Amino acid sequence: MAKISIGDNPRLEAIREGDGTRVAVITHPHPLYGGNMHNNVVEAARDAALAHGFSTLRFNFRGVGASDGLHDGGPGEIDDLATAIGCAEDYPIILGYSFGAWIAAGFLKRRTLPCILIAPPSAMFEFPSLKGLPVWAVVGAHDQFYDATTFEALIDPGRLTVIDGIDHFWFGREWALRAYLDHILPTL
């Protein structure tokens, strides 16, 4: 594990792990509600990516932990993700959780990359269309911040998985996310 700083406007706190040739860049939940790169879901995604031979790059959005700057409500955080992607070599993928899923979806307007959205909060944020993009999504059937009608219209059929017994936070059920990622990651 290497704790590093990336970017310079603002400097972002990041952790790089693994020695795989492909890098999974992992984004965290909403900073204004305590989200950071040490979140249980972010760490479960990291563990799955490492187990499948990816290196991982987790980072704190601006204003979180040791990252410089202030929360920007979306545009600045998309820039933060672009900075992280720029440090991820040739073939990165994105694993975005909650607010980080929304940021990842926004980033895909700039550059198309394989992306897995975990618990996309479609009841809180407006997501762009993801049709025709290499995007998959997984959500709990009891997710408090997910609007199925809205989100299902934005993603290609067969790319959305809904898991029973899970809410937005996955507490104590991280194994279900790991099982999903164990199925999807080898295909990317």
Average pLDDT over residues 17-29: 95
Cβ 163 vs Cβ 176: under 8 Å: yes
Q: What is the mean pLDDT of the chain?
A: 95
Local confidence band at 91 (pLDDT 50, 70, 90 cut-offs) = confident
CATH for 22-187 is: 3.40.50.1820
Q: How far is it, in rounded angstroms, from Cα 173 to Cα 60?
A: 24
At residue 2, the pLDDT reads 60
Instruction: Say yes or no to pLDDT of 7 above 90.
Output: no
Local confidence band at 9 (pLDDT 50, 70, 90 cut-offs) = confident
Q: How far is it, in rounded angstroms, from Cα 110 to Cα 185?
A: 23
Query: Which residue's structure tokens are 């992607």?
Result: 85
Average pLDDT over residues 84-104: 94
Of the listed ranges 35-49, 85-99, 149-163, the one predicted with least confidence? 85-99
Average pLDDT over residues 52-64: 97
Local confidence band at 4 (pLDDT 50, 70, 90 cut-offs) = low
Query: Which residue's structure tokens are 């590093």?
Result: 4
Average pLDDT over residues 166-177: 98
At residue 12, the pLDDT reads 95
